[in-house]
């Protein structure tokens, strides 16, 4: 059975639970998926504000953001995901 939440800290164990919060390194990926795929009967019908709200709700279940967090284009990229350092960079870092 696939899970949508939980799994934080299980990736290095013998029984990894890959969920968006435990596996994906950025919260923007969750937002992008929600925006393009939800709701299942009418993909891409949510407004950006609705997609931000769904993303905030999912992240709040696992305590990544506060239950009353309001996410938007400025605050979403600042969210620190539990697995943010779990991937190796295959491309050069952006020049500053």
Radius of gyration for the alpha carbons in the chain, expressed in angstroms and rounded: 14
Would you give per-residue pLDDT tens digits along the chain (96 residues)?
578 888 888 888 888 888 888 888 999 999 999 999 999 999 999 999 999 999 999 999 999 999 999 999 999 999 999 988 877 777 787 787
Spatial distance between the Cα atoms of 7 and 11, rounded to a whole number of angstroms: 8
Written as six digits, the tokens of 7 are: 């799994």
The pTM score is 0.82
Could you identify the residue written with the tokens 């905030």?
56
* Structural domains in the chain plus CATH codes: 20-78 (1.10.760.10)
| Three-state DSSP class for residue 21 | helix
| Three-state DSSP class for residue 17 | coil
């Amino acid at each position: 059975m696939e899970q949508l939440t939980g799994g934080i800290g299980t990736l290095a164990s013998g029984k990894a639970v890959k969920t968006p919060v435990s596996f994906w390194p950025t919260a923007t990926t969750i937002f992008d998926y929600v925006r393009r795929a939800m709701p299942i009967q009418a993909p891409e019908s949510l407004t950006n504000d609705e997609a931000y709200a769904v993303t905030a709700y999912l992240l709040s279940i696992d305590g990544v953001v506060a239950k009353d967090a309001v996410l938007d284009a400025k605050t979403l990229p600042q969210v620190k995901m539990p697995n943010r350092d779990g991937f190796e960079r295959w491309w050069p870092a952006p020049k500053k």
